Chain A
Amino acid sequence: MSRNAQNDHLTRLEQTSIHVFREAFANFRSVCMPWSMGKDSNVLIWLARKAFCGKIPFPLLHIDTTYEFPEMYEFREKAKVIHGIDLIVRVNEDAIRRGIGYATHDPVTVTHELKTVPFKAAIDEFKWDALVTGIRRDEDPTRAKERWFSPRSAEGNWDYKDQPPEFWGQFASSAPEGGHVRVQPLLEWTELDIWEYIRRENIPNPTLYFAHNGKRFRSLGCHPITHPVDSPASNIDEVIEELKLTKTSERAGRAQDHVGRNSMQELRAKGFM
């Protein structure tokens, strides 16, 4: 692929994301990028390295639920070295001591306790005013209303009915008092774009995305509530071909989204990504 091609779709997405990264870094005092180690997260790392000419000038944060797939921990250590990542890892030890877990609790509670609570604690600890997320508009209807720069209150709440206008490349330039701004460089990307970009750029990713014994993961979360889909797609080319034909939603294998009719909205109002 020619690096001079300005006009192909992926390059346009890439260049816009780089612009969003750079504007965030120029505007905010203290930036952090949560890292799930999933495909979107790994594309973000790649884009950040492009935006900052090789070295990511802010830390990454992994909220470790302790329920990650074993391969993900291996991938984390490998990727840390490849990308020269300054990584902060946080675990909600208190919740684990209290016995919160998938064996005994519902997924919404566990997600809240093991993800959202330590995430908020880390924000309080490091006082970041901008967090870079891998949210895409095509993932879920509740994400369709997101902005490139999306302010969150000190409580982490998202006032989606009163968002600042965003136009002509001008973004919200400051965080609300005590709150932060979510910076979302992948907003315009689709799942297919992500995979085509991973293929074009050869971006390292966990192999759980590829079929083993006729099943593969399309989206990765905690292992007790993340289920593989039937798929013969065992490499990137096959995944891309499959996605061009599917109409099943990407997060169909993520149980916490499907507990109640609006569980995703409930999680997000409480500060979930």
Chain B
Amino acid sequence: MNTQSLSQPVSTSLPSVEDHRKMHVVVVGHVDHGKSTFVGRLLHDTDSLPNGKMEQVRKNCAIEGMEFEYAFLLDALIEEQEQNITIDTTRIFFRTKQRAYAIIDAPGHKEFLKNMVTGAASASAALLLIDAKEGVMDQSRRHAFLLSLLGVKQLVVLVNKMDLVDHSESTYQKIVAEYSAFLKTLGLNAVHFIPIAAKHGENVVERAAKMPWWKGPTVTEALDAFSHEDDLTGLPLRLPVSDIYRFDHRRIIAGRVEAGAIRPGDELIFQPGGRRSTVRTFEDWPGPESRSVVGTGGSASVTLSEQIFVERGQVASHPSNQPRVGREFRARIFWLGKEPLVPNKTYRLRLLTQNVDAVIAKIVKVTDASTLESKEADSVPRDSICEVIVRATRNIAFDLHHECPITGRFALEEGGRIHGGGIILDAVTKSDAPSGKVTASERGARAGHAPAVVWFTGLSGSGKSTIAEAVERRLFDAGRNVIRVDGDDLRVSLNRDLGFSAADRAESVRRASAVAGLFAGTGHITLVTLIAPLAADRAKARATLANHTFIEVFVDAPLAVCESRDVKGLYAKARRGEIAEFTGISSPYEAPEAPEVHIKTDQTSQEEAVDLVLGAIDKLLQGKGDDWEV
């Protein structure tokens, strides 16, 4: 059959919900306590199944000789049916008369904890199932602990399989007493404990005739009473920078407002770094009118009044209410990695768009998620919860979780894969002033750009210094830290004792490299102009400066041209034999084979040459996560 009728409504009872936001609800609980059966029943009883789904699943069960179960409605993949276990976060949409829901059937099997985290982290409310017959189990406790860690505050406990305990109120009351005492230790509070028998649909949508003693709501009534997560627009502004776009003449700071709100004219401070500017415009497409305010959850495309240094990872806020800046904090984390979490190993710390190396400076305690007992430990095994001191290799911007949840939580990554997450409990203040030696990245952060060494090589008179001076001017005017190390200047100072022999030339290159390294170490873009005629010497210089971005610029002018210019009269002297071992005349010049920039001065104007060099600097420093244009 090729066509199907769409025009005939199958049910007229479906409510109109288009104006309502979907609420995300996570369903958790111990394995086999009936989560999938419950969700299947909920879909069926709210009339939310696609046409023919029931029949299809019943048919498949008949083919395989199995008794139909509501859980099969969810187990759409064969593998699941074979294992009779839900393998991953599934998201299913359903509607009550009040509103639409996305239900997350988080699996209960212990090894699938990460999927529960994925599901529960996006939920505004949770349903936790406990088997009335089996009672409170390991995962009943563990899941509640995770819910508290993930910040899910609205919780309803479903005491399931009441049919197996003769719908006994006293059995129900025992579970309520035991479990609510446990929840209290977590600072959690269940809104309701609802006695249900999911298999028979009792107290799911319809009230259960067999439990007349239950006067509270059914599951759907309880769901409909949940509220959406708090609106964070009232919190201070937190706008993490996702990217900087320069697709055309505009320079747009792109990011999502994670808390608070932003308006044109607002003064912003970008942390870490502390540079300030004012919001000039929002660049919304399609124009021409743009929003007058972007609130929490909104994506912002901002241009600034001043061209300050901004990079991905920084957090924009209003100067009156900034995030903390530091590199050490105490956190409670859950660890999902196959390998245990260990101190002093480097992980990637991801907080908003910040992505920095960090180590676990100390494991304070590991908590048993079932008993909530804590103990000291040297490492944290998979699926554990612990309290640790995290130390990042450089300053980051963050909030404490209780002050601003979204900027107070982070993920830990290793090998490109997220292995854990946590919430920030306290800042460790001593690290607000970093201790120990000042690192190159700290200097870079202050300068606002990474350092580099740009080495101009070429014959005497080829134009190295002229180009370098023009490059220096452009960088300086753009607010960069830049310095020039000139070979001729060195000749009369640091290298006064050196002549032009091969050994002296090697020493001259060595000294110039050392000086360039010192300047680069202070965060400067260092421009070296030195003939450095021998490839081996230049290779040594590059190796010495391997910690920095190294850009070799070959200023390639024909000897005849250099000689005809002879600004300093040196070629004439060399031809007269007054200077021994003069490069190009009486001493070789080995042209670089693969310079980063090759300027053929007879084919390139000086302006073009300067642009070529600036372009190479821009490109190579971009690769270092920098953001600027010269």
**Could you say which of B91, B297, B336 contacts A165, with CB atoms under 8 Å apart?**
B336
Contacts of A11 in B (CB 8 A): 298
Q: Which one, B2, B78, B286, B290, contacts A227 given CB within 8 A? A: B2
Total A residues in contact with B, Cβ cutoff 8 Å: 69
Determine whether B16 belongs to the interface, using a CB cutoff of 8 Å to chain A. yes
B91 close to A137 (CB less than 8 A): yes
Within A160-214, the residues touching B (CB, 8 Å) are 160-161, 163-170, 172-174, 188, 190, 192, 196
A15-23, A99-107, A112-120: which lies at the B interface?
Answer: A15-23
Q: CB < 8 Å: which of B3, B14, B114, B283 contacts A228?
A: B3
A142 & B6 in contact (Cβ 8 Å cutoff): no
Contact A172 B350 (CB under 8 A): no
Find residues 46-76 in chain B having any chain A CB closer than 8 Å to their own CB.
49-51, 60, 76
Do B297 and A230 touch across chains, with their CB atoms under 8 A apart? Answer: no
Q: Is B418 interfacial (CB 8 A cutoff)?
A: yes
User: Are A230 and B121 in contact, CB atoms less than 8 angstroms apart?
Assistant: no
Pairwise interchain contact B299-A15, C-beta atoms closer than 8 A: yes
Q: Quick one: closest B residue to A4, CB to CB? A: B291
Query: With a CB–CB cut-off of 8 A, which chain A residues contact B250?
Result: 53
B436 within 8 A of A: no
Is B465's CB within 8 Å of the partner chain A?
no
Asked whether A32 is an interface residue with its Cβ less than 8 Å from the other chain, the reply is no
Q: Is the CB of A9 within 8 A of B20?
A: yes
Q: A227-B2, A248-B50 are in contact. Are A144 and B296 (CB under 8 A)?
A: no
> Are B78 and A262 interface neighbours, CB within 8 A?
yes
Query: B297: which of A16, A147, A261 is its contact (CB, 8 Å)?
Result: A16
The answer to whether B50 and A144 have CB atoms under 8 Å apart is no
Q: How many whole Å from A240's CB to the nearest CB in chain B? A: 8
Query: Please, how many angstroms separate the alpha-carbon atoms of A188 and B122 in the complex?
Result: 12
Docked pose: A114 CA to B5 CA in angstroms: 30
B417 adjacent to A50 (CB under 8 Å): no
Known A12-B297, A167-B117, A172-B416: A144·B92 in contact at CB below 8 Å = yes
Q: Are B248 and A173 in contact (CB under 8 A)?
A: no
Among residues of B, the one whose C-beta sits closest to the C-beta of A55 is B247
Residue in contact with A244 in the complex, picked from B16, B121, B336, CB distance below 8 Å: B16
Contact of B284 among A3, A245, A246 (CB under 8 A): A3
Q: Is B601 an interface residue (CB 8 A)?
A: no
Known A141-B76, A172-B416; judge A53-B291 contact (CB<8 A): no
B411 touches A167 (CB 8 A): yes
A192 and B6: CB pair below 8 A?
A: no
Are B7 and A232 closer than 8 Å at their CB atoms? Answer: yes
Q: Contacts A53-B283, A173-B355, A244-B16 known; A163 to B7 CB distance under 8 Å?
A: no
CB of A96 within 8 A of chain B?
no
A167 and B118 in contact (CB under 8 A), knowing A141-B77, A230-B5, A231-B6? Answer: yes
- Taking CB atoms, residues of chain B closer than 8 Å to A172 are 416-418
Instruction: Please name all residues of chain B whose beta carbon is closer than 8 Å to the beta carbon of A97 when the two chains form the complex.
Output: none
Q: Which residues of B contact A228 (CB under 8 A)?
A: 3
**Residue contact B243 to A26, C-beta cutoff 8 Å:** yes
Chain B residues near A137 (CB, 8 Å)? 91
Closest to A56 in B: B247
C-alpha gap A52/B250 in the complex (Å): 12
Q: Which B2-43 residues have C-beta < 8 A from chain A?
A: 2-7, 9-11, 14, 16, 18-22
A242 to B350, CA, bound (A): 44
Q: For A170, what are the chain B residues with a Cβ–Cβ distance below 8 Å?
A: 350, 411, 413, 418, 421
Is the CB–CB distance between A4 and B292 below 8 Å?
yes
**Contact mask for chain A residues 29-64; partner B; CB cutoff 8 A; 1 contact, 0 none:** 000000000000000000001111111010000000
Q: A4-B292, A144-B91 are in contact. Are A51 and B299 (CB under 8 A)?
A: yes
- Determine the chain A residues whose CB is within 8 A of the CB of B89 once the complex forms: 145
Q: Is B102 an interface residue (CB 8 A)?
A: yes
Determine the distance from Cα of A246 to Cα of B102 in the docked complex, in whole angstroms.
18
Q: Return the contact of A9 from the options B14, B19, B418 (Cβ within 8 A).
A: B19
Whether B256 pairs with A19 at a CB distance below 8 angstroms is yes
- The CA of A247 and the CA of B44, in the complex, are separated in Å by 13
Does A109 reach chain B (CB closer than 8 Å)? Answer: no
Q: Are A15 and B87 in contact (CB under 8 A)?
A: no
How far does the alpha carbon of A228 sit from the alpha carbon of B4 in the complex, in Å? 8
Let me know if B118 and A165 touch, CB within 8 A. yes
Q: What residues of A have a CB within 8 angstroms of the CB of B243 in the complex?
A: 22, 25-26
Docked CA distance A170–B416 (Å): 12
Residues in B with CB closer than 8 Å to A7 are 21, 231
Apart from A4-B291, A57-B247, A168-B410, what 4 extra A-B contacts exist at CB < 8 Å? A3-B284, A147-B118, A173-B416, A230-B5
Q: A residues bordering B, Cβ < 8 Å?
A: 3-4, 6-9, 11-12, 15-16, 18-19, 22-23, 25-26, 49-55, 57, 137-138, 141-142, 144-145, 147, 160-161, 163-170, 172-174, 188, 190, 192, 196, 215, 218, 227-233, 242, 244-249, 252-253, 261-262, 265
Across chains A and B, which 4 residue pairs bring their CB atoms closest together, nearest first?
A141-B76, A167-B121, A174-B416, A165-B114
A-B contact pairs, 7 of them (CB 8 A): A3-B290, A16-B297, A26-B312, A55-B248, A188-B102, A230-B4, A230-B5
